[in-house]
Amino acid sequence: MKFLATLFLISFFTACNTNPSDKYLAIAENTENTDTKIIQEHPGKKLMENNCYVCHNPKTAEDAMIAPPMVAVKMHYTSEGTSKEEFISAMVEWAKNPSEEKSKMPGAVKKFGLMPYQFYPEETIVQIADYMFDNEIEEPEWFDAHYKQMHGDRPRMKGKMGRGMGSGKGMGKNQEANAQPTLKERGMQMAQTTKAELGKNLMGQIQKNGVIAALDFCNVQALPITDSMATVHKAYIKRVTDKPRNPKNKANTAELQYLDNFKKQVAAGGEVDPIIVKMGVETEFYYPIVTNSMCLKCHGTPGKELETLTLSKIQELYPTDKATGYGENEVRGIWSIRFEN
Ligand code: HEC
Ligand code: HEC
Q: How remote is the CA of residue 286 from the centroid of ligand 1, in Å?
A: 23
Lowest-pLDDT range, 149-158, 286-295, 331-340? 149-158
Ligand that comes closest to the CA of residue 66: 1
**Confidence band, pLDDT 50/70/90 cuts, at residue 83:** very high
Whats the size of the chain, residue-wise?
A: 341
Q: Whose CA is nearest to atom 21 of ligand 2?
A: 245
Lowest-pLDDT range, 80-84, 161-165, 268-272, 335-339? 161-165
Q: Which of 67, 52, 63 is nearest to 108 (CA)?
A: 67
Q: Whose CA is nearest to atom 23 of ligand 2?
A: 239
**Ligand 2 within 6 A of CB of 211:** yes
Contact at 8 Å (CB) between 38 and 166?
Answer: no
Burial class (CB in 10 A: 0-12, 13-18, 19+), 74: buried
Average pLDDT over residues 190-207: 82
**Confidence band, pLDDT 50/70/90 cuts, at residue 237:** very high
Q: Which of 182, 165, 134 is nearest to 12 (CA)?
A: 182
- What gap in Å lies between CA 61 and CA 42, rounded to an integer? 27
Torsion of CA 53, 54, 59, 64, to 10 degrees: -140
Predicted pLDDT of residue 185: 85
- What gap in Å lies between CA 284 and CA 191, rounded to an integer? 12
- What gap in Å lies between CA 66 and CA 312, rounded to an integer? 37
Contact at 8 Å (CB) between 116 and 294?
Answer: no
Cα 233 to chain centroid, rounded: 17
Q: Which of 133, 178, 171 is nearest to 39 (CA)?
A: 171
Contact at 8 Å (CB) between 133 and 50?
Answer: no
Predicted pLDDT of residue 217: 83
Q: What is the greatest pairwise CA distance in the chain?
A: 72
Predicted pLDDT of residue 238: 93
pLDDT in tens, 283-323: 999 999 988 878 899 999 999 999 999 999 999 999 999 99
Contact at 8 Å (CB) between 132 and 56?
Answer: no
**Confidence band, pLDDT 50/70/90 cuts, at residue 174:** very low
Candidate from 298, 318, 329, 336 with most ligand 2 atoms within 8 A of CB, to mutate: 298
Q: How remote is the CA of residue 67 from the centroid of ligand 1, in Å?
A: 7
Over 60: is that where the pLDDT of 1 sits? Answer: no
Predicted pLDDT of residue 269: 81
Candidate from 195, 245, 266 with most ligand 2 atoms within 8 A of CB, to mutate: 245
Q: How close are the terminal C-alpha atoms of the chain, in Å?
A: 21
Predicted pLDDT of residue 160: 44
Ligand that comes closest to the CA of residue 122: 1
Predicted pLDDT of residue 222: 87
Q: How remote is the CA of residue 55 from the centroid of ligand 2, in Å?
A: 22
Q: Give whichever of 62-66, 93-97, 196-200 has the largest mean pLDDT.
A: 93-97
